[in-house]
A and B are shown apart, each in its own frame.
Chain A
Amino acid sequence: MEKAIKKTFALFALPTLAAFVIGFFVPFILGIYLSFCRFTTISDAQFTGLANYRALAGDGVFLHSLWFTAAFTAVTVVLINVLAFAAALLLTRSFRGTNVFRAVFFLPNLIGGIVLGYIWQLIFNGILSIFGRTLTYSSVYGFWGLVVLMCWQQIGYMMIIYIAGLQSIPDALYEAARIDGANGRQLLFRVTVPMSMPAITICTFLTLTNSFKLFDQNLALTAGQPSQMTELLALNIYNTFYGRAGWEGVGQAKAVVFFLLVALLAMIQTRLTRSREVQQ
């Protein structure tokens, strides 16, 4: 059978492979090469060694956006996961309307980042105008604005994953723990949380990478204002590419650093939480 299927390579595997090579693989390799070049289009690329990397190390706005992104990611990962887990715990109890509430919390997730950004720009500016301020008055407003937006969008999605995790915990475990005299708190931290580790692994991975890579919401909500102080990494890279002529090489070098950071974070995070998963 394997031999017969092997003959279908051109029909079965080739279309996806070709699209993958054109759409992802070639641009990826080119991207690494270009990060060592000075260029405005690909054909005029000149090899300049590590010059781009030296330039980005001296770019204060980039370093600021690195810290801004790190802080934003840390705050949102904790907030989203704690709130989503709490919502999942409550919404797996039996009371009227749980399905409706789940559906409501999930809804914002389907709305695109650009639309979300403008919805919240209206809301925040409306609230801040009471104090005679706007969202772009200070980077602190932009930071918390992005945090609220991100929580609003992501909590429902993570809640759904946590609910699926909670429903797979066998009742027998709770009964055994109760017979052993465990109280509510112990049930939560000794049974529910350890048994939910696979879901926690997935949700922290998703929130971590989503927050770190955030672009559309950032562009629509603050566009980096005031004076690039609320630029997350992805937007900073975009503006380096398309906002500053002659800086394409530096933009590409930033993108490589960005990629390495995402890969590193994803690796560390999965190692950490995977090691806490328990076998059933």
Chain B
Amino acid sequence: MKKRRNPALTILFSVISVVYIAPILIVLMNSFKRKAYINRYPFALPNADTFVGLENYTSGIEKIDFWRAFGYSVFITTVSVAVILLCTSMCAWYITRVPGPFSRIFYTLCLFAMVVPFQMVMFPLSKVTDLLRLNTPIGIVPVYLGFGAGLAVFLFCGFMRSIPIEVEEAAMIDGCSPTQTFFFAVLPMLRPTLISVGILETMWIWNDYLLPLLVLNQKKYKTLPIAIQYLKGGYGSIDWGAMMAMLVLAIVPIIVFYLALQKHIIKGVAAGAVKG
């Protein structure tokens, strides 16, 4: 087939793209305006009267203790995702290589867990985690492992059924223990699925609001989405200046993450979905 270039489509999509990105740009622009002008005239450019520099940023950072919340979010996301990747890939290997009633039942439960809405378990879960003292940034990690297990086990199992078992048999015959076989022969082959699962779980945990709100001790630990929601006062009033600045600070890491890993993210999403 011959390649044709169609400039009309390029122009059309350029316009759509600008409109698509506009809400984010409008938030960025408003983050530099005095708060009284934001909600009333969100589309007006800042001028000499309304421009306040970084005032919204400094007041917002102070108001919600931004760096603390950011730190907790980074900690919980990275540790949880690392634990999920390690534990569920090992578990999926066990399930696919040791067939039997345990493997069958656990695999079915994992599929089942993916459909259950969070509201179904949120109240008992918050009581169970309080009882077990899992209400800290470290304690929430096993909770995320339990919740993320469904999707992760499912995706890993799907991939493991497609890789040749001969590699593992050869490793074992050469004297590897099962643990060595997994870490030296299986894990390197899992790379694409590790990336895919890692990205899906990162997106979920970084943005998660309700689970950490109910599990973590709210007097001490707030993640970023919780801190932002906290800007809405008791009577529904919002400090729009601080809000704009905090929204920008919440979006920036996401954009950096996206630009750095864009190819993997788009591939990972497509691969994760095709198997779903």
In the bound complex, residues from chain B placing their C-beta under 8 Å from that of A15 are 87, 90-91, 145
> Interface size for chain B: under 10, 10 to 19, 20 to 34, or 35 or more residues?
35 or more
Of the candidates B16, B42, B91, B128, the one whose C-beta lies within 8 Å of that of A122 is B42
B206 contacts partner chain A, Cβ-Cβ < 8 Å: yes
Central interface residue in B20, B38, B179, by most chain A CB within 10 Å: B20
Q: How far is the CA of A2 from the CA of B165 in the complex (A)?
A: 11
A161 to chain B, nearest CB (A): 5
Q: Closest B residue to A241 by CB, please name it.
A: B123
A50 contacts partner chain B, Cβ-Cβ < 8 Å: no
Q: How far is the CA of A212 from the CA of B110 in the complex (A)?
A: 20
Q: Closest A residue to B30 by CB, please name it.
A: A122
| Stretch from B3-11, B53-61, B62-70, B189-197 contacting the other chain | B3-11
A28-B121, A105-B20, A258-B120 given; A6·B98 CB < 8 A: yes
In the bound complex, residues from chain B placing their C-beta under 8 Å from that of A20 are 106, 109-110, 113, 145-146, 149
In the bound complex, residues from chain B placing their C-beta under 8 Å from that of A115 are 207, 225, 228, 247, 250-251
In the bound complex, residues from chain B placing their C-beta under 8 Å from that of A213 are 117-118
Q: Closest A residue to B27 by CB, please name it.
A: A119
Asked whether B14 lies within 8 Å of A97 as measured between CB atoms, the reply is yes
Asked whether A90 lies within 8 Å of B9 as measured between CB atoms, the reply is yes
In the bound complex, residues from chain A placing their C-beta under 8 Å from that of B41 are 126
| Stretch from A56-64, A106-114, A138-146 contacting the other chain | A106-114
Of the candidates A2, A96, A215, A259, the one whose C-beta lies within 8 Å of that of B97 is A2
Q: How far is the CA of A171 from the CA of B208 in the complex (A)?
A: 42
Of the candidates A17, A202, A205, A238, the one whose C-beta lies within 8 Å of that of B119 is A238
Q: Closest A residue to B270 by CB, please name it.
A: A164
Asked whether A114 lies within 8 Å of B228 as measured between CB atoms, the reply is yes
Asked whether B39 lies within 8 Å of A152 as measured between CB atoms, the reply is no
B21 contacts partner chain A, Cβ-Cβ < 8 Å: yes
B220 contacts partner chain A, Cβ-Cβ < 8 Å: no
A111-B251, A252-B123 given; A26·B128 CB < 8 A: yes
| Stretch from A188-196, A216-224, A271-279 contacting the other chain | A216-224
B23 contacts partner chain A, Cβ-Cβ < 8 Å: yes
B58 to chain A, nearest CB (A): 19
Asked whether A30 lies within 8 Å of B203 as measured between CB atoms, the reply is no
A11 contacts partner chain B, Cβ-Cβ < 8 Å: yes
B266 contacts partner chain A, Cβ-Cβ < 8 Å: yes
Asked whether A120 lies within 8 Å of B250 as measured between CB atoms, the reply is no
Asked whether A223 lies within 8 Å of B236 as measured between CB atoms, the reply is yes
> Interface size for chain A: under 10, 10 to 19, 20 to 34, or 35 or more residues?
35 or more
A68 contacts partner chain B, Cβ-Cβ < 8 Å: no
Q: Closest B residue to A22 by CB, please name it.
A: B146
B124 contacts partner chain A, Cβ-Cβ < 8 Å: yes
Question: Which residues 40-97 of B have a CB within 8 angstroms of A?
Answer: 40-43, 87-88, 90-91, 93-95, 97
B203 to chain A, nearest CB (A): 6
Q: How far is the CA of A1 from the CA of B172 in the complex (A)?
A: 8
Central interface residue in B43, B95, B179, B209, by most chain A CB within 10 Å: B209
Asked whether B115 lies within 8 Å of A100 as measured between CB atoms, the reply is no
Asked whether B10 lies within 8 Å of A22 as measured between CB atoms, the reply is no
Question: Which residues 146-168 of B have a CB within 8 angstroms of A?
Answer: 146-147, 149-150, 153, 168
B36 contacts partner chain A, Cβ-Cβ < 8 Å: no
Asked whether B20 lies within 8 Å of A152 as measured between CB atoms, the reply is yes
Q: Closest A residue to B272 by CB, please name it.
A: A161
Q: Closest B residue to A100 by CB, please name it.
A: B17
A177 contacts partner chain B, Cβ-Cβ < 8 Å: no
A245 contacts partner chain B, Cβ-Cβ < 8 Å: no
B245 to chain A, nearest CB (A): 12
Asked whether A5 lies within 8 Å of B210 as measured between CB atoms, the reply is no
Q: How far is the CA of A97 from the CA of B251 in the complex (A)?
A: 24
In the bound complex, residues from chain A placing their C-beta under 8 Å from that of B116 are 24, 28, 259, 262-263
Interface string of A80-113 (1 = CB under 8 A from B): 0000000000110111111011111111111111
A147 contacts partner chain B, Cβ-Cβ < 8 Å: no
A25 contacts partner chain B, Cβ-Cβ < 8 Å: yes
Q: Closest A residue to B231 by CB, please name it.
A: A118
Q: How far is the CA of A105 from the CA of B5 in the complex (A)?
A: 21
Interface string of A229-266 (1 = CB under 8 A from B): 00001100110010000001001101110110011001
27 A-B Cβ contacts within 8 A?
A: A4-B177, A13-B90, A13-B95, A13-B106, A16-B88, A16-B146, A19-B87, A19-B149, A20-B146, A24-B113, A26-B124, A94-B3, A97-B10, A107-B21, A110-B265, A112-B208, A112-B225, A115-B225, A119-B27, A119-B247, A122-B27, A122-B38, A160-B266, A171-B1, A203-B273, A225-B236, A262-B117
Task: Report B's interface with A, CB cutoff 8 A.
Answer: 1, 3-7, 9-10, 13-14, 16-17, 20-21, 23-24, 26-27, 30, 38-43, 87-88, 90-91, 93-95, 97-99, 102, 106, 109-110, 113, 115-125, 127-128, 132, 142-147, 149-150, 153, 168-169, 172, 177-179, 182, 203, 206-210, 225, 228-229, 236, 238, 240, 243-244, 247, 250-251, 254-255, 257-258, 262, 265-266, 269-270, 273-274, 276
The 9 nearest A-B residue pairs measured at CB: A23-B146, A112-B207, A126-B42, A30-B124, A19-B146, A27-B124, A16-B91, A19-B145, A27-B121
